[in-house]
A and B are shown apart, each in its own frame.
Chain A
Amino acid sequence: MIEFFIGSLLNGISFGLLLFMLSSGLTLIFGMMGVLNFAHASFYMVGAYVAYQFSAFAGFYPALIISVSIVGFLGAMVERFGLRHVHKHGHMAELLFTFGLAYLTVEMVKMVWGKLPVDYRIPHTLDFTLFNIFGTTVHAYKAFMMLITIIMLISLYMLIKSTRVGIIIQAALSNPVMVGELGHNVPLIFMSIFAIGCAMAGLAGGISGNLFSTEPGMADRLGLIVFVVVIVGGLGSITGALVASILIGIIMNFAAAINYSLADLISFLGIASSKKGILAIKISQTAEVLPFLLMVLILILRPKGLMGTRET
């Protein structure tokens, strides 16, 4: 029992941290520019594919750095030559642009790398069991992943909270016009924030693409969960995004590990029942749906989201 609990908890937290790497970037971009980037998870996917492509001849770690820089650069280009241009047509056009971009990225990835998963592997140097905890083995690569995520997030926090650039970013978050009046280059700040958010998504892709699977469907699958995280946490709230990421990560991993159905529960209580229809659905089968169910519940019960300040 404790083995199952610890195992699911660890998996849940590591998945939750990964979700937070995406949702924090998304929230930052949304809070600052008011743009909900539907293509955010596409940068995650591109990060995974680029890291795969370079890891074949440059090795895993250099490939990771190359991939993060490329994705960050792509993000900057998308902001500079796409979003900024579309911005004058209003928010609707921005949403449509990022949605179209997400669609196009999937198609382009399919065109270049094919529809099947690519062979992106965990590096040999990290392919061993790190330690055992109550009978649960912790793989070295997972520990590495968690470490990278935490370092990344702490440095982002430090950047925003205690550097001069961070103060300007915070100011631009709440009042971009005033920051512009003070002589700062607001478009450049916007572009950098967009690039940083995208680079983080790219890093998340690079370090998790080999653990899960690198295939054209990965952006849609994770992207949708990230959107749920953002709604559940409260649109625009980074703390909310953190809580919701970990919560959803844990819920999904626990659900995926429970192999019982409602019918099992009823028969456990001593009532005979037929194993058909809704009763026969195992909880592990619902793991993919649970985030969306949670989202609908949150919308009905608490439309602000967990930590949000405004109603969604």
Chain B
Amino acid sequence: MRSSIITRYKIWIISALIISIWPLFLSDLALSLLSQMGIAVIFALSYNILLGQCGLLSFGHAVFFGLGAYFTIHALRLINIGQLTIPTPLLPLVGAFAGLILGITVGLIGTRRPGATFALITLGINELVHSSALMFIDFFGSETGISAKREGWLGITFGSQLEVYYLIVIWTFICIILIYAFTGTPLGRISNAVRDNPERTGFIGYSPVMVRALIMMVSGFFAGLAGGLYAINWELVTYENVGIMQSAFVLFMVFIGGAGYFFGPIIGAVIVTFITLYLSAFTGAWMLYLGLFFMVMVLFAPSGIAGILMLHKPVWQRKLLRRIILSYIVALFSCFVITLSGIGLIEIIFHWSSTGYTNSVMTVYGIKFDAKGFLPWAITFAGIILGGYFFKKSLSNVKKNWSLVSIELQSKCHDDSSN
């Protein structure tokens, strides 16, 4: 019995051990990155309750996150001046309940119809909050935002990044478990039914609007909690946090990771946080790269990274991966050529325009050249076109191998079931 529990929850236990012991050997910078990843994971999972589970595409999820953060930072301020006592580890719950109440409000107004209408309404509500942020200065602070200081609790000062990291990671773990458990509850199940066929859900006695509103509430709760953790982590909240960019980023995380799988948003959150923090140190065009990454996923891999992984799981299990790996390598190589030339092209334009088109001498990939010349443009364009040509060629090879493998897979499955 005991061993079966351990094998069943193997992944959870191993990852819990890794994320609790590994940080002891890390620098503050890496810890800060991990803390932000934890917050992003909760935020992305809360978004996927809407998108993946209930099929609601929201462009305004930052409202829950941002207002959760604002309520938490205000609570923290009250604690600072001694008018309120909440132990710091429980402080994110303030944000969570703010998100919950906001979620049910937005849910009741905007969930009559899913799809385009819901997307528009959430976008509008996001903009409503974002543009009123500069009107209600007492609550949102002016452009400098609202700041407060973390208080200690039971001898833990929360002064070092390590202590904050542990607070965040414990909350992240609790949230992952809760959201995972939520997918199995009756509400979680019926939300899937609402996503797939709202009309029939109505026939069996569940109001789709009510289910969507409740789902918004749950999602708002976790988004607010993520916002609360953000406020604790940074001790500063600005009106950028309720901005549309924040909403776009969480959508990117979930979609790049894969909305159809529970672990998809976790992968996406880790990748996008990494891109926003590390790529932005290298290039000013990182937001463009992030957008391009998202568009490539929308066009060519709508099930996200998780979808690609899960597609190959049976192939991996039946040891057929080596049959297709060669054609993959060829295709990936041409992809690599396209990416490299594309990045080169973007960097050339970016460097040149950032000087106001006055200084055309620049260094990209460690090569110094003049952008007024013909060669840099010719090389990058040739790279993109040739790469695209060979990618298209190699893609047919990939398709051929894939269909062979999938036929074999089916026959193997058939053998397994007949045995």
Interface set of A (CB-CB < 8 Å, partner B): 30, 36, 38, 82, 85-86, 89, 91-93, 95-97, 99-101, 103-104, 107-108, 111-114, 220, 224, 227-228, 230-231, 235, 277-278, 281, 285-286, 288-289, 292-293, 295-296, 299-300, 303, 311-312
Contacts and interface: CB of A to CB of B under 8 A. Distances in A.
Contacts of A295: 121, 124, 128
Nearest to A305: B117
B288 A227 contact: no
A137 B59 CA distance: 41
Contacts of B291: 100, 103-104, 107
A36 B120 contact: yes
Given A91-B115, A235-B116, A104 B288 contact: yes
A19 B67 CA distance: 31
Contact of B119 (A89, A95, A277, A292): A95
A281 to B, nearest CB: 6
A101 B112 contact: no
Interface of B: 55, 57, 59, 109-110, 112-113, 115-117, 119-121, 123-125, 127-128, 131-132, 135-136, 138, 244, 248, 251, 255, 285, 287-288, 291-292, 294-295, 298-299, 302, 346, 349-350, 353-354, 356
A312 B404 CA distance: 47
Contacts of B255: 96
Contacts of A107: 285, 287-288, 291
Contact of A220 (B120, B244, B251): B244
Contacts of A277: 138
Contacts of B138: 277
A310 B248 CA distance: 29
Contact of A227 (B124, B298, B349): B124
Contacts, number: 110
Given A95-B57, A292-B128, A286 B251 contact: no
Contacts of B127: 224, 292
Given A227-B120, A235-B117, A300-B109, 6 more contacts: A107-B287, A224-B124, A230-B120, A281-B135, A289-B128, A289-B132
A30 B123 contact: no
Nearest to B295: A100
B113 A312 contact: yes
A44 to B, nearest CB: 17
Nearest to A112: B353
Contacts of B120: 36, 227, 230-231
B298 A100 contact: yes
A312 B117 contact: yes
B285 A82 contact: no
A285 B110 CA distance: 26
Nearest to B346: A111
Given A99-B251, A100-B291, A303 B124 contact: no
Contacts of A85: 299
Contacts of B294: 100, 103
Nearest to A310: B113
Nearest to B136: A278
A99 B116 contact: no
Nearest to A107: B288
A111 B353 contact: yes
A296 B285 CA distance: 36
A96 B298 contact: yes
Given A103-B248, A111-B346, A312 B302 contact: no
20 contacts: A38-B119, A86-B299, A91-B115, A96-B57, A96-B251, A97-B299, A99-B251, A100-B294, A104-B295, A111-B288, A114-B356, A227-B123, A230-B120, A231-B117, A231-B120, A235-B117, A289-B132, A299-B121, A311-B112, A312-B113
Nearest to A92: B57
A311 B116 contact: no
A114 B127 CA distance: 24
